[in-house]
Structures are given as C-alpha cells and as structure tokens.
Amino acid sequence: MALTVLGLGPGAPELLTLEARQVLSEAQEVWLRTARHPMVGSLPAHLTVRNFDSLYEEAPTFEAVYDAIVEQVWDLARRPEGVLYAVPGHPLVAEATVLKLLGRCRSEGTPARVVAGLSFIEPVLHALEIDPFTLPDGGQASAGDRGRAAPSGFPGLPAPAGGLQLVDALRPCVDPARQALIAQLYSQDVAAALKVELLEYYPPEHPARLIVAAGTPDQRVLDLKVYELDRAQPIDHLTCLFLPPLALVDNVATFNGLAAIIARLRAPGGCPWDREQTHASLKPYLLEEAYEALEALEDADPEALRGELGDLLLNIMLHCQLAAEVGEFQARDVVRGIAEKLIRRHPHVFGEVEAESAQQVVRNWEALKEKERSEGASMLSGLSRSLPALAYTRSLQERLAPLGLPRMTNTGRPDAGGLDELGRAIFELAYDAAERRLDPEEALRHANRAFTARVERAEQLAREEGSSLQRLPQERREALWTQAEPQG
C-alpha cells in the first residue's frame, strides 16, 4: 500500500515546488483528479498521465464524484507500485478527495505522503495586492469612513475589518463585515446561485473583483458589482471572487451588523438620546414593544410582526450594549446562555433521552428544571412577580399542578373587603382557565378586542345616522348596540 498525493500548484510551471518536480521526474505514472489544469501540459514527457474526468460526467453530484475518485485511488494504492495522485494547487486546500483519502489512511493505520504545492490563495493575494490580515486600503480607515472603522476603546464597536475569510461558493456563509475570498466558482450557474445568496447581505452596487486564472500567464482581474456577477465572462474552475467588507451603515442584514450600529449610536459622537439611556430608562419600552409584538401576532399580520420583533430586538440589544460598556456581559454571553440552556433542556434532541410526544417533552422539561433548582429552593423560585397578574396566576397553576393541592381561595386579607373578594373571584376564573389549558390573559384580550370592535361598529352606525353615540338618546343607543353585535 503506497499513496502519494502531490500538489500541482496554481498552474504556471515555475510555481511547481522543487519537491513536486523531483517526485514527478522519478515517477512513471500519475493520476490526475482532473486534466483541466494549466500545469498538465508541462508535465514530464516520460509520464503516463491518467485522469478521473469521466467521473464528472457520470456521477450526479460533486460528492458522488469525490467518493468514486477516493475508491479508485484507494484501489490503485493497493498495487505493488502504489499510486501518485496529483491535484491542483495544494493538496490540503479545497481538495475534498485528499481529506477523504487521508482520513481513511488514519483509520486504517496506513502512511501517506503529501507533497505540498502552492495553493490558489497566494497568487490571488498577489493579484489583488492585499494582505489578508489588513484592510484592502492598508488599514488606513477612520471613524468617518462610513462607519467601517469605529472610535477605538469603546466596547462593542467593530475593529477595522481585516482577517480575510475563505468561502466555498457552493456553501456560502459570509460575514459581510470582513473581506471575503470566494472560491469553487466553477460555472455561470454557480455564479448565479451565489449572487442570489450575496444579495441577501450586500447591496447590488457593492464592488467586487473577479480573479481569473491566478498564477498563470492568463491571469486577469475584473472589477464589477455584485449584481453583475452572473454576467461576467468567463467564469470557470479557475475563477474566484473577492469582496471588500461592507461599511457599517450597509451591514444591515446580520446580527453582528445590528450590534455594531447600536454600539455606534452609544459611542462618543453618536445619538444623544441613545447615549442617555440606562437599563432603568429602557424598562417601559421593553414591555411596550413586547405587547405590540403580541398584538401583531393576534392580528395575524406578518409584516407588522416583523417590524415589532425588530423593535423588541433593538431593546434587547440596547440592554446588551449597556451591560458591555460596564463589563457585566456582552450579547454573545446572552446567546451562549440560551443556546446552552436549549441544548441542556432538549436531551431528546441533543442527547440520549427519548421523547415521543409533546407531553413527554413537557414532563422531561419540568424534571430538568426541577433538577436545576438549587436544593431547598421554593417551588415558586424563578416566577417573576412583575408578570401581569393573570399571567402570574397561570404560571402558579402550571408550577403547582403536579401537587394536586386544593384551591387556596382564602389567602387574602380579611379587611380588604370588596377588592379582596373580587381578586379571589378573578383568581378562581384564572385557575379554571389554566386547568383547561387556556390562557386567561389571552382570553381577556380576546374579549377586549371583541368589545372594542362592537363599540367601533356602533359608533359607525351612529355616524351613518348623522350623529354619535354620545348625542343619541339612550333607547336609540341601546338599539345600535344590539345591531352592532357580531353575527354568527
């Protein structure tokens, strides 16, 4: 068993490494992942050159092609003479077949030799004249550069966007705040699909650079806009795309972009109103936005819900920014906390516990919450007393239902009079609703909405008579009230 994997470099013969040149000169046969590579014509004349290009026509997906190549290379490696398998660029850069082969070697305890090659990345960086660790302009960005760089020393504000990210065009996952190099841009169809993905995050007019045949005599760099990507010619297996980072004011479709905008509002020179806010001053807005989101839900209005959830998220992010400024916690700590809790409380998804029904999930959830409570803590610990009274009653019932306790209706003060009596009556109604798995708060909101709609209908009827409910005699007012009753 002998497997040698060799990198052919980006294409120009002078970029082939000395080690690769030596191995090729001593070999009798080489198997190429693909013969569609500029270096192939410069291989030593004595070599028998074979390739796997026919598999690209036979297999339905790239994954199937790669699996078939791996199987054939593995069989060839079992021959007494072994196999020399050559791939474009560097064997460990964007080469799925090599990773699969090396994984199999490790699992079976079989040695393999990897002959390094220059990857496509270095020639692309050379063509673009950029350093992957700095901004495209050499790092000379300022706070006035449309927000791309922010005043230093203020928590939450983004640093200048260096750190080149490498992205696969077939599985694009891009942080628009950072410069990106997108490879595997094989064809016009791939470019069209990539453009659709990029337009979710980038403005259509955002500049881009297409690098064609980097590291070969045919190398070209084309400037274009994101919306023009699928119109560019040519696009083939030697093409990749460079995207400079988005300015802060354009990065509006990512969580990190929102965090950076909010941090900028709070920073020196930001918005005077935002800079004055505190956790305490923002409390009313948090509750108000939550209720407005609830109203949009009840109206079954997706567009309104989208906007209200955005307002609610703004409040959450403002609280995160305030906390970050004094070193309490950051937004990522909030995300980490809830993510870890979700994993911990869903062992039937992320662990070994089984749950075949929603009811079993609820029972498992309650058991886990009980386990998480500190020893000796009250069953009521964790219930927020700032909840609306009806919502608090429902939570009480849900928490205490497993105990089967009798109704505790005489818990009020004897001297409270009618107020206490009314409270007990409402408490009983809320308890009954919770036992029937109905939300008393929602039920009351539904009644309020129905009553409001009937009032508005009666007012409309009065206006049609040239009057108003306030000016009509009582008898006519009651008639219109009956007429305004919903039908059916």
**Residue 404 has what pLDDT?**
65
Asked whether 178 and 247 are in contact (CB, 8 A), the reply is no
Q: Greater confidence, 268 or 349?
A: 268
CATH number at residue 14: 3.40.1010.10
pLDDT of residue 140: 38
What percent of the chain has a predicted confidence (pLDDT) above 90? 50
Summarised one tens digit per residue, pLDDT across range 340-353 is 988 988 888 888 88
Could you give the angle at the alpha carbon of 432 between the alpha carbons of 426 and 437, nearest 5°?
Answer: 125
Residue owning tokens 């080149």: 164
Tell me, yes or no, whether 129 and 223 share the same domain. Answer: yes
**Of the residues 184, 218, 250, which one is the last residue of a structural domain?**
250
Domain hosting 315: range is 255-329
Query: Average pLDDT of 380-406?
Result: 72
Specify the pLDDT at position 372. Answer: 64
Q: Is the pLDDT of residue 144 over 80?
A: no
Reported as a single tens digit per residue, the pLDDT across 53-72 is 998 888 888 889 999 999 99
Regarding whether 274 and 244 lie in a shared domain, the answer is no
Question: Which of residues 329, 352, 378 is at a domain's end?
Answer: 329
Q: Tell how far CA 368 is from the center of its chain.
A: 28
Question: Which pLDDT value is given to residue 406?
Answer: 62
Could you tell me if residue 405 is inside a domain? no
The residue assigned the tokens 């008898």 is: 475
Q: Is residue 349 part of a domain?
A: no
Mean pLDDT, the chain, integer: 85
pTM of the model: 0.73
Nearest one of 15, 6, 5 to 214, comparing CA atoms:
15
Is the pLDDT reported for residue 222 higher than 50? yes
Look up the CATH number of the domain holding residue 270: 1.10.287.1080
Q: Which residue has the higher pLDDT, 158 or 325?
A: 325
Same domain, 207 and 320: no
Considering only CA atoms, which of 5, 183, 185, 187 is closest in space to residue 87?
5
285-319 pLDDT, tens digit per residue, is 998 999 899 889 988 999 999 999 999 999 999 99
Asked whether residue 78 falls in the same domain as residue 42, the answer is: yes
Mean pLDDT, residues 37-61 taken together:
90
